[in-house]
Amino acid sequence: MIQRHMPLRTLLQSTLALGFVLLLSGCASNRKTWEEWMESESTPMLAAGAQEASWTKPHVDPLVLAEGYEVGDGARAGKGFDLEARNPGFPDTYIDRIYVDVTDPYHELTIHWTGPLAELGPTGPWRSNPGRGIPDCDCDDFEQSNMVDSWCTPKGLFPVAGFADHLTKVTACHYVTWIQHAPRYIGLHSHIFVPSWADSHGCVRVAYDVAKLIHNNSKVGDTLISIDGTWTRPDPKMLTRDTGGSQF
C-alpha cells in the first residue's frame, strides 16, 4: 500500500541523505557557463603567491604534449562540448596555477588567475579526489608517487600538457586537463564520484563544473599544476570496484 504522507522525520532524513550523496559526488552544483559562475561564486581571490612556499618542488621529467597542442594553446572543444565557462578576458586572463592537496578528507583544489580580468576568476576551494595507490606503493612519497602504474596522483609541479573532451577509455569523464601526457596519462577531469578517501587510479577527479572551468581557462605549458599534501592509504573496503574504468 502506498503511504500518502511521509512522516516529517523520515522526510528530513531523506533530504539529508540526498544532500550528503550530492556533496560526496561533487555534483551539488552544475554551472555550465561563465555567467552561471559569476552568479554563484562569492569566494574572494587568493592573494598572489599565498601558497607558493609549500608548492615549489618541481617534477623533473620533460614535458610531453598531447597531440595537436603547443605551448600557449588553450583548450579546443569538439561536438557536444563547449568553452562557455571561459573567462571573457581569455587568453590574456587565464589560470596560471592549480593547487591540488591530496590530504583527506576534502583533497582541496584551489586555483589562481593572472591577467587583466583575474579578479573575476573563481578560486575555490573545491573538493577533489586523488589516486588510491597500489598495495605496495606509498603515494605520500614523492618518487613513488611518480612511478608508472603506481595508481598514485604524482606529486610535484606540472605544466599543463594539453586537453581532451573526455578520456578515451572512460567517456563519462569529461573536460580533461592533462597533468601528464605520456608515459602515465594523468588527467584532471570530471567524475560523478568524489569521495573523502583516495579512490582513483591516479587522475584527479573533480565535479563537472570545476573540471570545465579549469579546462576552459588553462593554457598548455603556462598553467602549472602543483600537487602536494599528506596522502592517506584508503580502507580497501571503501574503494570503488573495477567496473570497466569507473575508478579513473
Give residue 176's pLDDT.
97
Give residue 61's pLDDT.
62
* pLDDT for residue 9 is more than 70: no
Pairing of strands 156-159, 224-228: antiparallel
Q: What is the CATH number of domain 33-42+55-238?
A: 2.40.440.10
160/59 Cα distance (integer angstroms):
12
Proportion of the chain above pLDDT 70, given as a percent: 75
For the residues 146-168, what does the mean pLDDT come to? 94
Higher-confidence residue of 5 and 49: namely 5
Q: Which of 210, 41, 70, 61 is nearest to 129 (CA)?
A: 210
* pLDDT for residue 245 is more than 50: no
For the residues 160-183, what does the mean pLDDT come to? 92
Query: pLDDT tens digit string along 202-234?
Result: 999 999 999 999 999 999 999 999 999 999 998
Q: Grid cell 550530492 — which residue? A: 22
Element of type H or E holding 118: none
Q: Where are the domains of the chain?
A: 33-42+55-238
Give residue 45's pLDDT.
37
66/74 Cα distance (integer angstroms):
12
Using CA atoms, how far residue 15 sits from 111, 140, 169, in Å, is 31, 37, 35
For the residues 120-149, what does the mean pLDDT come to? 93
Give residue 237's pLDDT.
75
102/229 Cα distance (integer angstroms):
5
98/113 Cα distance (integer angstroms):
9
- For the entire predicted model, the pTM comes to 0.79
Counting Cβ atoms within 10 Å, is residue 237 exposed (0-12), middle (13-18) or buried (19+)?
Answer: exposed
Give residue 241's pLDDT.
56
